[in-house]
């Protein structure tokens, strides 16, 4: 065997060994959780759900930009009881099944109008399993909490000031109301 051929074969084999693992697609979540397990597609569905709850507008960011889905997952993972975590994961599956039952498509592939209609039926509690409703309620509550506690919301909408501005007079007594 010629030396050039041997080097070429080694390069091809090592490149192939390097590329093969990347060809096998694992549906892994991007956030590390201790108590619950979520696939990448479930995380993507959760991101789209939070964006449907608080969509991005022309003037302001949406829940997806704030990564509200990561906040939801972290809160459920850290703060919920094991029974509630189990109900959350079951509710996530039932939510996706309810979407497939209604639209014959996953939530991620639905149009914005279909997503809004599904959420309206969730709000009206029409033909939706109880665990799916509990899942939706939990996601909605934590999405709103994530949004209203964000820096962008506090500074741009609420006009919250961390430190009193130039109008603060510390030596003036407070008047009784």
Query: Is 13 inside any structural domain?
Result: no
Helix axes 40-53, 130-148, angle to 10 degrees: 70
pLDDT of residue 171: 82
Split into its structural domains, the chain has a count of 1
| Cβ-contact 42, 92 below 8 angstroms | yes
Q: Does 77 map to a domain?
A: yes
Written as tens digits, the pLDDT of the chain (177 aa) is 688 887 887 777 777 667 666 655 556 667 888 989 899 999 999 999 999 999 999 888 999 999 999 999 999 999 999 999 999 999 999 999 999 998 999 999 999 999 999 999 999 987 788 999 999 999 999 999 999 999 888 888 887 777 777 777 778 777 776
Can you give the three-state secondary structure of the chain, one letter per residue? CCHHHHHHHHHHHHHHHHHHHHHCCCCECCCCCCCCCCEHHHHHHHHHHHHHHCCCCCCCCCCCCCCHHHHHHHHHHHHCCHHHHHHHHHHHHHHHHHHHHHHCCCCCCCCHHHHHHHHHHHHHCCCCCHHHHHHHHHHHHHHHHHHHCCHHHHHHCCCCCCCCCCCCCCCCCCCCC
Instruction: Please give the pLDDT value at position 144.
Output: 96
Q: Residue 120: give the domain boundaries.
A: 28-55+63-155
**What long-range pairs does 23-27 form, CB within 8 A, spacing at least 24?**
none
Let me know if residue 164 belongs to a domain. no
What's residue 156's pLDDT?
Answer: 85
Q: Is residue 101 part of a domain?
A: yes
Looking at residue 1, its pLDDT comes to 64
Q: What angle separates helix 68-79 from helix 130-148, to the nearest 10 degrees?
A: 110
Distance CA 154, CA 150 (A): 6
Let me know if residue 115 belongs to a domain: yes
Q: Classify residue 11: in a domain, yes or no.
A: no
Is residue 80 domain-resident?
yes
Domain membership of residue 2 (yes or no) is no
pLDDT for the residue 33: 87
């Amino acid at each position: 065997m010629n030396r050039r051929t041997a080097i070429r074969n080694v390069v091809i084999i090592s490149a192939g060994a390097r590329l093969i693992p990347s060809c096998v697609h694992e549906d892994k979540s991007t956030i590390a959780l201790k108590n619950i397990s979520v696939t990448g597609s479930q995380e993507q569905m959760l991101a789209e759900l939070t964006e449907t709850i608080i969509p991005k507008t022309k003037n302001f960011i949406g829940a997806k930009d704030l990564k509200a889905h990561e906040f939801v997952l972290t809160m459920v993972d850290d703060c919920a009881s094991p029974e509630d975590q189990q109900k959350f994961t079951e509710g996530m599956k039932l939510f996706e099944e309810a979407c497939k039952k209604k639209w014959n498509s996953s939530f991620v592939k639905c149009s914005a109008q279909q997503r809004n209609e599904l959420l309206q039926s969730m709000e009206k509690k029409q033909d939706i399993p109880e665990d799916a409703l509990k899942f939706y309620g939990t996601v909605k509550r934590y999405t709103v909490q994530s949004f209203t506690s964000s820096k962008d919301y506090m500074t741009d909408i609420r006009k919250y000031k961390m430190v009193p501005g130039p109008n603060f007079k510390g030596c003036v007594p407070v008047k009784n109301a």
